[in-house]
Structure 1
Amino acid sequence: MLGLEDVALHFHFLRQSGRDLPTVQRIVSIPQWANELPLRLTGDEMAQDDTASDLLAWIGSDSVGRPMSDGGVTLCGSCRASRDCRLGVTREWLQDDDVSHFEVTCPRDQEGGPNVAHGGWTAGVMDEMLGHVPLLHDQMTVTATLTVNFKKPVPVERPLVARAWIDKIEGSKWFISGELLLLPTRSVLATATGIWIARDPSHFARHEKWLAEQDAVRVGEGE
């Protein structure tokens, strides 16, 4: 059964996507904070947004009305303050062939070996880009599995591009693959495949509730 917080966040999701409100609105009082959650934010709007650090504002915006950089890149909670993707993704877009495209550069502070990216950066940026494929289709998801094949060392501070596409969708599961390429030769540096699970905007609120329950158990055991 949905709690009030679930209903409120779902209401915000419907409001920002332009859909009609459900019948439940007539029997449940929607709290004022749900009406005040920000819609899609870009550029200077993020700098002026007073709720940038508010957890519920970020939850609501990471689905359809998501915060974006000036290059159209969906921003996570920690990247929102700087208005840039800290992993180095500078542009993302969905083409007519349903393939998602990305422009990315590995920052120097992600260097592992001499002048090459740390493997953790490669895995992280592949998770980021493949995970944005559902977002480009207005669906929030979370990562379930990710397999990365490291083909070549990834140079830092060099222009790279990536492609990602949907292999199939089964219920709530999105099967997605992609590749990271070096410019201008388009040599393959890494490939990845994984499964992402569709979630509604109240997903993170449910996690916070679960985490609080875990903390209560720990306190109860005297730890």
Structure 2
Amino acid sequence: MRKASRLFEIIQILRLAKRPVTGADIAGQLEVTVRSVYRDIAALQAMRVPIEGERGIGYILRPGFDLPPLMFSIEEMEAIVLSLALLERTGDAELKQAAKRVTAKIAGAVPPPLRQTLDANALHAWGFAAPSASAIDLALVRRAIRDEEKLELAYRDELGRATERIIRPIALIYYAEAANIVAWCELRQAIRNFRSDRIEDCQPTGLWFKGEGDGLRQIWVNGWQTNASTANA
């Protein structure tokens, strides 16, 4: 987790807390070291965020400090609630945990009438949920897309043939049965799709394709347009 994200998360944790929160508790929620939490709190205090407390006892956010308000209509809130519920069907464990944190943040920030929409629990997403991919961490793929880092795959195609691929991931599509990685395949020198349930191993390479992601996505989109034109001819 990047430092800017951690600082925001710490503020949110303290905003929602009803009693002092220890550095160890914060570290556990963010999956970082306690030392990192202490450094981040010191950085927030240096930025005049009114955090009070000390190591071993706990921290609180002094009343009066808040982030900009969330201005949602009833319909917008219902759209958010249903969207978060749909994440349960992706099979992406990290996204599901993120959805729960988003729900908690919204509940702590919106006015009471809108909070009732969340508490009512009246909107549900039903249907088949994709199984979690056992051989691949989809969070790793999402980070590789953001950071433009190449990935190394051990892949088995629909005929059962095994290959080793170096790919430049540019998009991740969630279907009911599996996630689909869209990437430039260095073996095939073309855009290819890789089903998560056919990936036997996935590792970061430490090699980058910085600045190429947008261009590769445009090639992907142009492929849609070509296929659509052919279908309509």
Common topology (TM > 0.5): no
Per chain length, whose mean CA-contact separation is higher, i.e. which structure has more relative contact order (CA < 8 Å, sep 6+)? 1
Which has more helix, going by share of residues? 2
Look at both structures and tell me which one has the larger radius of gyration over its CA atoms: 2
